[in-house]
Amino acid sequence: MSGNGNAAATAEEDTPKMRVIRVGTRKSQLARIQTDGVVATLKALYPGLQFEIIAMSTTGDKILDTALSKIGEKSLFTKELEHALERNEVDLVVHSLKDLPTVLPPGFTIGAVCRRESPYDAVVFHPKFVGKTLETLPEKSVVGTSSLRRAAQLQRKFPHLEFKSIRGNLNTRLQKLDELQEFSAIILAAAGLQRMGWQNRVGQILHPEECMYAVGQGALGVEVRAKDQDILDLVGVLHDPETLLRCIAERSFLRHLEGGCSVPVAVHTAIKDGQLYLTGGVWSLNGAETMQDTMQTTIHVPVQHEDGPEDDPQLVGITARNIPRQPQLAAENLGISLATLLLNKGAKNILDVARQLNEAH
């Protein structure tokens, strides 16, 4: 008996242990749902690997009594997760792409941009206003949003409404809407509501002519260590070529404008008949002043690989070695060209004033 037991123990020791890939995420329910989705895809692609999810709180999760634009920290929802990456406590981190600054700290890169869900904003109404739209809400109704971009555009479009900051994760914000009598409606990203399974709360979808969206909205980004080729190869298969090119153009536009959370900048992109279209705009805080334009570039949405490795593969923080380089560069140049056009028309003045006013309040 004892002989068989020893043999079994030896066989177990000889069996190679499954490699464990540690995945970092924020603790919120939405962040967990997004991370679970990415991990499920990776598990299906790599059945020989094990994945462990490690959740942590970030600065943005902890400071809930201040508008995001006032905190003055570019990596509000990413810093703690990047520290874990740096210390080799996790191998990759799943983020909402719109939370990732256009310039990442040295040593990090976005190794995958996953297929985008709806990039639009959605309006959720207080139960007593179900069936209304922003246009038909009563005069002086208060609409909650934590975004300067949304507030500036919607104030311009719906001057009869008042806009007030509302913070917290999706669950908290919906609770504040339903339980307090303070807000008639709140604006949230449609993608987040979809992922949480709360589509039934959406009372109105805001299309670009009403409210253009945030750079990267609706897409997920997988951040990794820039020199970890093994993990880069592992997550690179998650790149969605069309989403990648649209988001490179959007991030390039924002980076060149030097925009961020503290100024109202918004975009709209589309790929049609081999053309990538980018519409971008900047607004004053109250929405009274705005500057927008559209440019396009020829692009052929790549299937997969073509070029060899580059010396510096990153474009606006993104590494996509398995996607042809030419369309990526065209998308980056489109963003730079549109930002330059707006800056030459005087967008810098609008942004500078918005930044100063935001800091002063």
| DSSP labels, 306-343 | -S---SS--BTTB--TTS-HHHHHHHHHHHHHHHHHHH
Phi/psi class of residue 172: alpha, beta or left (left: φ > 0; alpha: ψ in -120 to 50)? alpha
Q: Does the annotation mark 99 as catalytic?
A: yes
Sheet with strand 19-26: strands edge to edge: 49-56, 19-26, 92-96, 220-225, 108-113
The closest alpha carbon to 99, from 73, 68, 66, 77, belongs to 77
- Spell out the residues 6+ positions from residue 360 whose beta carbon is closer than 8 angstroms to its own: none
How does DSSP classify residue 123?
E
Which of 61, 65, 99, 352 is an active site residue? 99
Task: Give the whole-angstrom CA distance, residue 79 versus residue 232.
Answer: 20
Cβ of 252: how many Cβ atoms within 10 Å? 24
| Contact of 287 with 357, CB cutoff 8 Å | no
How many CB atoms neighbour CB 62 within 10 A? 9
215 close to 253: Cβ distance less than 8 angstroms: yes
Which residues have a Cβ under 8 Å from the Cβ of 332 and sit 6 or more positions away? 248, 249, 252, 315, 316
| Size of the chain in residues | 361
Number of alpha helices (DSSP H) and beta strands (DSSP E) in the chain: 12, 13
Counting beta carbons within 10 angstroms of the beta carbon of residue 308, is it exposed (0 to 12), middle (13 to 18) or buried (19 or more)?
exposed
User: What is the spatial distance between Cα 100 and Cα 79, in angstroms, rounded to a whole number?
Assistant: 10
Alpha helices in the chain (DSSP H): 2-14, 29-45, 59-62, 68-71, 79-86, 148-157, 170-179, 190-196, 229-236, 241-257, 325-345, 347-360
- Residues serving a catalytic function are 99
